[in-house]
Structure 1
């Protein structure tokens, strides 16, 4: 099962955005571009414990009434009670309606019957409806006395539906929050969590993740399953009413009587409709308290932020291993005829996973999260400012948010054709030998160069010319052959870039190759791309003799160590790069 698409309308800076997700999705972008808001929206959609606030609404008034979070899931199991043909479309209204969750499916045309299908109907609503057919009203005529509880309404709906009396259409219909609670589990690791929030409370990352670990260990235990079913029957009986409309548990009758009398003191014409709901035990939602100490310090709240993050990742790694642990230690055979509860979908939302991590830890955390995302019914979505969590090889997992001039959030994901096997192999090589190569995706402008010489010398020369901009990233592409691969990535994620290339005018064969490359790059680029072409090569522009493999060192010695002035051709090229203007210094 996979969360494949999310659409936000009127949610903070998200005017109307659509994001395509992978099993592991990395969201990048400048500060305050809507990344954290997107994670919050996912949490609001799938975690009923979290409620929307006024701050979640866009300040654009016309959008507020339409504000919603909508998601599409694919490969939905047949055991799930919601979804059509393995596809589930789920929506949560952020404001303006009491029915906050809706699911797309074949639902009753009649509004009161829609409410009945989710246990929210009333006898008065059914009786007063002028559009419910006489056949349905006749079928419902012998309803039990008293106020009906939700499961009774659902049973009545199922009975008339089974007889083909309900006219249906494909539309959005309400879904109870208990269904969301039973089908989804969300772990949210916030960037600004305080120690006491992280280690305690019903919404803490430790408690949520710890509960999931225990559930994974306990869900196949026959004794727990049997006792849970037995207790569920007792709890359901506790809140049932008899034919006279009286509660089976007498204190509830007294409680209702007292409530009615208290209400009547000031509001005599108000009737009380009271319906108790038994807790659902089938999903075994455990909690966990986790604390640590060493010989000198007690309590994780008194220890470093890095340790808390390290514990979270240790729990994530343990979660990955739980299925094999349970399989190796649990020798019980499945119960005959037992109906397995639907496996919940697990979503891990992580803000800035790089926080408080050493570089060595950063290098492996992405691999750990990618492994976590391969587990069934499991997905990871994170936002980051670290290049270590961006996998260029898995280019479709990268989503870039922008918000120019403090306006609405824009979303850019991979829009082109897949990279070739050779291009993927090169990006895999880059990941292992140049872990900072993905830094270009965080830049205001990426400057794609053939080798290391420009990366070593250009920042110093640009500073001397009062052109230097730290938001520009000089990228060593390790040869002109690889520039197109980087260009494809930058174009798809809408990162502005400059290609700075040698024209090789003095070498006939090399000149032909350079001309063909430049023609190809021009065909691929859009308005965000600029191309700067030297007349011949770097040495020619810099006024240096050819140095072969020693070019980077000799150039660095000349311009950085010795501080030599920039030549006119090199200055022209550097100005074109930092001013993002096309320049071709070859002879026309």
Structure 2
């Protein structure tokens, strides 16, 4: 079975939203945009414990109870798949159209003023226009035999999970013959212990005194006897989990919140496998990063995305570390533009990036939590732009801006994903040329072409440059300027898509804006060339000397429109 789409209509802050799903899903966005409500929409559909409460007035979008709540889950059924076969066996005649591989589950809520709630009615079928109502017996429906929703909230408590499931875990019916013998032995020991307690001198002495007092009030031939009636009511009621290190006899309490959370997850996994393996379990995991150290978050990411501990899950998070190992997962961005909106994208690590998946994801993951992202090539650009933004717009990150260093991974993987998630990508790159192997006079226009590729435009042909060894650098720079001017229309088109290419490179851009400072720091002979020698070290020297006024001058310059684009609406 494959999760396909979730459609939410008139539920809480969702007016009408369709979300593309996969079996692994990541929900992210700013606080209070509706991530939890998205999870709860599935709970109302598939979790009987939630559904029986009905839809309250506040569950209706903007409390408009005249509108109908409708939550629809589309799944794809596959031949030979156990979960698909489980669904097929339960739904029977509700699969009655040609699209037998597609199936829908739906809950509809219409507000009943007399009841004060919206009564959830369940439907299913593979014809969305004509779904069948699902049979119900009281609060139970056939749907509840199919799905198990396991909601894991951010404050999951180990003690609560453990104590709430003791009877299930330590069911006496599961005891072996040896366990029964131990049980009987404990009962005998309890009787013996009671006899020992009753025979203690302090008790015998008190019995004698109490008998004497009693006979003074009522003269009869009796004595008062005290008897211990200690009983072990539930042998397992005081069992608690501890950690035991290899080679160490000491038991250590599971005191840390992070460790408790991991153990609670382990316990839930065990309970599901042991007692609910027949149903299709969908895990709804809300912000598991709370109380987890960074290393534990990365380890959990590996469990979720690489080892596949859960067949179906929807994870909501603010943690970039939890996304380090993501692959073949739906990215679901929840954001607000007047109305709550969702953009979703099936993310697969490109084949040629598999070996650096963690590096690719680590950079992308942080960018996903932003609204506008400036993609830059190298560390020199990063330190320069950070310096300028710190002076001109120190709150740019708090307001949704981000600098993403592509650092050899290329722009395209990031640009495409951000664009599809309605996160605005901005690109700044050099007008690079690259001579062809074996053809030193033939140059590919790799700078312009990498930009044109981002907007699906045809690449430009290579150019020929005739030069002597002494004039190579000058000739290449002249041709870069000529190409930039000649392709003015293409450059303008790129800028409309927030893609900015230097006329030559970053250092030349800087020299057009702050020539005096460049001459001061790197000498007036050839400051650009001097700066490009040990580029990052020299960039650090430059930014150390930059004044606030020069930072403002740079961001206002036409060669640095990329920075203006990053901060213009934040």
TM over 0.5: yes
Of 89-98 and 182-191, deviating more is 89-98
Comparing 556-565 with 42-51, which one deviates more in the overlay? 556-565
Distance 1:188 1:213, change over 3 A: farther
Aligned to 2:107: 92
Q: CA deviation at 1:73?
A: 2.6
Contact preservation (8 Å) 1:491, 1:528:
no
Match for 2:304 among 365, 369, 384? 369
Match of 2:535 in 1: 551
Q: What secondary structure sits across from 2:3 in the alignment?
A: strand
Q: CA deviation at 1:310?
A: 2.0
**CA–CA distance in 2 between the matches of 1:424 and 1:318?**
34
Cα distance in 2 for residues equivalent to 1:288 and 1:182:
30
> 1:426 maps to what in 2?
353
Q: Give the equivalent residue in structure 2 for 1:451.
A: 378
Secondary structure of the structure 2 residue equivalent to 1:453 = helix
Q: Which residue of 1 aligns with 2:365?
A: 438
Is the contact between residue 21 and residue 330 of structure 2 (CA under 8 Å) also seen in structure 1?
yes
Aligned-partner Cα distance in 2 for 1:316–1:574: 56
Q: Where does residue 89 of structure 2 map in the other structure?
A: 80
- Structure 1 counterpart SS, 2:396: coil
In the alignment, is the contact (CA less than 8 A) between 1:23 and 1:374 conserved in 2?
Answer: no
**1:432-459 CA deviation, whole Å, 9 max, x = no partner?**
4772442111112110111121222211
| Counterpart Cα distance in 2 of 1:441 and 1:59 | 28
Q: Specify the alignment match of 1:103 in structure 2.
A: 123
Q: Quick one: structure 1 residues 99 and 58, their matched pair in 2 at CA, closer, same or farther if it must change by over 3 Å?
A: closer
Give the corresponding residue for 1:308.
Answer: 260
Residue of structure 2 in register with 1:486 after alignment = 414
Moved over 6 A (4+): 210-215, 287-290, 294-300, 505-511, 524-528, 561-564
Contact map agreement 1:443 1:472 (CA 8 A) in 2: yes
* TM-aligned CA distance change 1:35 to 1:549, over 3 Å: farther
- 1:353 aligned counterpart, secondary structure: coil
Q: CA deviation at 1:24?
A: 1.1
Cα deviation, residue 575, structure 1 = 5.6
The question of whether the paired residues in 2 share the 8 Å contact of 1:5 and 1:19 is answered with yes
Aligned counterpart, 1:144: none
Cα distance between partner residues in 1 of 2:170 and 2:16 = 39
| TM-superposed deviation, 1:363 | 1.0
Post-superposition Cα deviations, 1:102-134, rounded to whole Å, max 9, x if no partner, equal 223499xxxxxxxxxxxxxxxxxxxxxxxxxxx
CA deviation string 1:173-217 (max 9, x = no partner):
133224233222121111256x4xx643xxx69858x999899x9
Aligned-pair RMSD on alpha carbons?
A: 4.4
Tell me how far apart the structure 1 counterparts of residues 66 and 159 of structure 2 sit (CA, whole Å). 35
Shift of 1:29: 1.3
Change (3 A) 1:534 1:371: closer
**Residue 374 of structure 2 aligns to a residue in which SS?**
strand
**Superposition deviation, residue 292 in structure 1:** 3.8
Residue 355 (1) aligns with residue 355 (2): no
Q: How many residues align?
A: 417
Q: Deviations over 1:538-583 (max 9, x none)?
A: 2222345345573123212320487694495675268622431899
Alpha-carbon distance in 2 for matches of 1:290, 1:563: 66
Cα pair 1:292 1:298 within 8 Å, conserved: no
Say if 1:211 and 1:572 are closer, same or farther in 2 by CA, change over 3 A.
farther
| Contact preservation (8 Å) 1:3, 1:73 | yes
Q: Deviations over 1:59-100 (max 9, x none)?
A: 152x75311222123222156312524544222223437862
Aligned residues of 2:323 and 2:365 also touching (Cα < 8 A) = yes
Which residue of structure 2 lines up, in the alignment, with residue 172 of structure 1? 132
Correspondence for 1:58 among 61, 65, 74? 61
Q: What does residue 32 of structure 1 align with?
A: 32
Q: Decide whether aligned partners of structure 1 residues 528 and 363 sit closer, same or farther in structure 2, where only a CA change above 3 A counts.
A: farther
Label 1:493 to 1:106 Cα distance change in 2 as closer, same or farther (>3 A): closer
CA contact (8 A) 2:393 2:567 kept: no
CA distance in 2, matches of 1:212, 1:383: 29
Q: Is the 8 A contact 2:373 2:423 kept in 1?
A: yes
Structure 2 counterpart SS, 1:7: strand
Q: Structure 2: how far apart are the matches of 1:212 and 1:394? A: 36
State the Cα distance separating 1:19 from its structure 2 match.
Answer: 1.4
Q: By percentage of residues, which structure has more strand?
A: 2
Q: Which residue matches 2:332?
A: 399
**Deviations 1:291-323 (Å, cap 9, x if unpaired)?**
4468999997xx443233122333366579x69
Counterpart secondary structure, 1:394? coil
| C-alpha displacement of 1:517 | 2.5
Distance 1:361 1:443, change over 3 A: same
CA distance in 2, matches of 1:526, 1:312: 51
Question: How far is 1:27 from its partner?
Answer: 0.9
Post-superposition offset of 1:484 = 1.6
| Equivalent position SS for 1:403 | strand
| Residue 414 of structure 1: how far off its partner (Å) | 2.1
TM-score, normalised via structure 1 length = 0.60
Q: Secondary structure at the match of 1:414?
A: strand
CA contact (8 A) 1:468 1:578 kept: no
Q: Deviation at 1:360?
A: 0.8
Q: Structure 1 401/364 Cα, relative in aligned 2: closer, same or farther at 3 Å?
A: same
Cα distance in 2 between the residues matched to 1:495 and 1:290 = 50
Aligned 8 A contact 1:491 1:526 in 2 = no
Shift of 1:412: 0.9
Q: What SS class does the counterpart of residue 345 from structure 2 fall into? A: coil
* Residues 447 and 473, structure 1, Cα contact 8 Å, conserved in 2: yes
Question: In structure 1, what is the equivalent of residue 197 of structure 2?
Answer: none
Say whether the 8 Å CA contact 1:505–1:511 is kept in structure 2.
yes
TM-score (normalised: structure 2): 0.62
Shift of 1:32: 1.6
Where does the alignment leave 5 or more consecutive residues of structure 1 unmatched?
108-168, 219-286, 327-340, 584-588
Task: Give me the whole-angstrom Cα distance separating, in 2, the residues matched to 1:526 and 1:402.
Answer: 26
2:477 matched to which residue of 1?
none
Query: 8 Å contact 2:24–2:312 — kept in the other structure?
Result: yes
